[in-house]
């Protein structure tokens, strides 16, 4: 465990960014987003970012390759660029957990080399949630907001930042800044229980997850509640785009006039043309599409992943859905909670 005084934090950030780009949550124009450090910014140590950190490993759109045509000759161009090392600082415990879910999809074989390269080059420094938002409910999914995962975990206590390496990569990374930090006792952070108490007192912390799980397909699939839950859904896809665990994408070919650019772009199971093929679309109503999204998080994903849910309780869909149709509402309705 290492520590440094908050007044020295800009020195640490400058040293980090000198070695590799540093991204951290910055408040600007009423939004909080991961932004490259450049000094003098309003860094958000509380709450969470509007967009999740998944963009850094699974960008909203990326070029996979190009095809160039000359006469009858078609050349395949590998457009991958060697990823550079980077640091994501201040990732909240829910978002760190979301990386496990993305890993289970992209690294499970066949390994997605685009994603894998970024994961290898990224150092994740998490930050315990001292002041969670009223829309947070990570504890309902068993995430400990006081002791987050990541390569390095950080805590703010008074005027001190504590840093503890969780992985070998984190140890190597933290050791590079030994001259700017000093050793600290593992027990120096006294307010872990205070953080847990705050998080478990949040309005949604007691959401009942026990009624969901991989064996509940028959229980929920045909419930009439899907109709009333989904009737106001606009199919806008906002919930999927802000969700740190949603990982659906489409691959599109874009004709440039000289060849083809092959792009991977986020897609949404809420869209009416999602997975549409020559024979048509497997889900023809918004009710079915809506059901798919929530059944995937609460039943299908746990069925394949030893009971782990596909939601981390970040609360973004609660804050961003224009129709207030979010996973907490779905869980309460299906679970017959008040």
| Interacting residues with ligand SF4 (CB under 6 A) | 233-239, 242-245, 270, 297, 311-317, 321-323, 325, 327
Residue closer to ligand SF4, measured from CB, 12 or 91: 91
Residue 113 Cβ vs ligand SF4, minimum distance, rounded to whole Å: 26
Residue 49 Cβ vs ligand SF4, minimum distance, rounded to whole Å: 12
Residue 107 Cβ vs ligand SF4, minimum distance, rounded to whole Å: 19
| Token pair belonging to 92 | 């909240």
Residue 182 Cβ vs ligand SF4, minimum distance, rounded to whole Å: 37
Cis-peptide, bond into residue 257, ω within 30° of zero: no
Residue closer to ligand SF4, measured from CB, 118 or 296: 296
- Alpha helix (H) ranges present in 138-234? 168-175, 192-200, 217-220, 225-230
Q: What angle (nearest 5°) sits at the alpha carbon of residue 297, between those of residues 216 and 211?
A: 35
Residues 6+ apart with CB under 8 A from 10: 39
CA distance 327 to 338: 15
CA distance 192 to 198: 10
Per the CB < 8 A criterion, the answer to whether 314 and 96 are in contact is no
Listed residue (287, 295, 293, 309) closest to 220, CA to CA: 295
Report helix angle 93-106 to 113-121, nearest 10. 140
Residue closer to ligand SF4, measured from CB, 295 or 325: 325
Query: Partners of 183 in the beta sheet?
Result: 2
Residue 160 Cβ vs ligand SF4, minimum distance, rounded to whole Å: 30
Residue 142 Cβ vs ligand SF4, minimum distance, rounded to whole Å: 13
CA distance 315 to 308: 18
CB atoms under 10 Å from CB of 317, counted, come to 25
Residue closer to ligand SF4, measured from CB, 126 or 245: 245
Residue 327 Cβ vs ligand SF4, minimum distance, rounded to whole Å: 4
Residue closer to ligand SF4, measured from CB, 256 or 323: 323
Residue closer to ligand SF4, measured from CB, 163 or 269: 269
Residue closer to ligand SF4, measured from CB, 45 or 141: 141
CA distance 314 to 47: 10
Per the CB < 8 A criterion, the answer to whether 45 and 90 are in contact is yes
């Amino acid at each position: 465990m290492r520590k440094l005084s908050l007044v020295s934090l800009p020195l640490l950030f400058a040293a980090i960014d000198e070695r590799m780009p540093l991204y951290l949550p910055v408040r600007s124009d009423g939004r909080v987003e991961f932004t490259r450090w450049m000094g003098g910014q309003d860094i958000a140590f509380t709450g969470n970012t509007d967009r999740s950190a998944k963009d850094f490993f699974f960008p909203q759109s990326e070029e996979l390759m190009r095809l160039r045509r000359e006469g009858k000759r078609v050349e395949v161009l590998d457009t991958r660029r060697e990823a550079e090392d980077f640091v994501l600082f201040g990732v909240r415990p829910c978002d760190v957990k979301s990386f496990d879910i993305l890993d289970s999809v992209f690294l499970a074989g066949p390994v997605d080399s685009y994603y894998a390269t970024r994961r290898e080059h990224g150092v994740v420094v998490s930050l315990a949630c001292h002041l969670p938002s009223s829309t947070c409910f990570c504890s309902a999914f068993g995430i400990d907001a006081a002791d987050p995962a990541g390569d390095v975990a950080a805590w703010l206590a008074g005027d001190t930042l504590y840093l503890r390496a969780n992985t070998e990569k984190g140890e190597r990374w933290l050791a590079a800044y030994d001259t700017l930090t000093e050793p600290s006792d593992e027990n120096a952070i006294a307010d872990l229980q205070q953080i847990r108490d705050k998080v478990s007192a949040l309005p949604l912390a007691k959401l009942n997850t026990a009624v969901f799980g991989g064996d509940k397909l028959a229980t929920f699939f045909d419930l009439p509640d899907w109709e009333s839950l989904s009737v106001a859904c606009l199919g806008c896809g906002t919930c999927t785009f802000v969700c740190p665990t949603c990982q659906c994408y489409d691959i599109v070919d874009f004709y440039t006039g000289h060849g083809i650019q092959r792009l991977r772009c986020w897609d949404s199971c809420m869209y009416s043309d999602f997975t549409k093929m020559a024979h048509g679309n497997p889900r023809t109503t918004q009710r079915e599409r809506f059901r798919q999204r929530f059944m995937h998080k609460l039943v299908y994903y746990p069925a394949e992943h030893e009971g782990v849910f596909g939601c981390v309780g970040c609360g973004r869909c609660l804050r961003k859905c224009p129709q207030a149709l979010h996973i907490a509402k779905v869980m309460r309705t299906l679970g017959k909670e008040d």
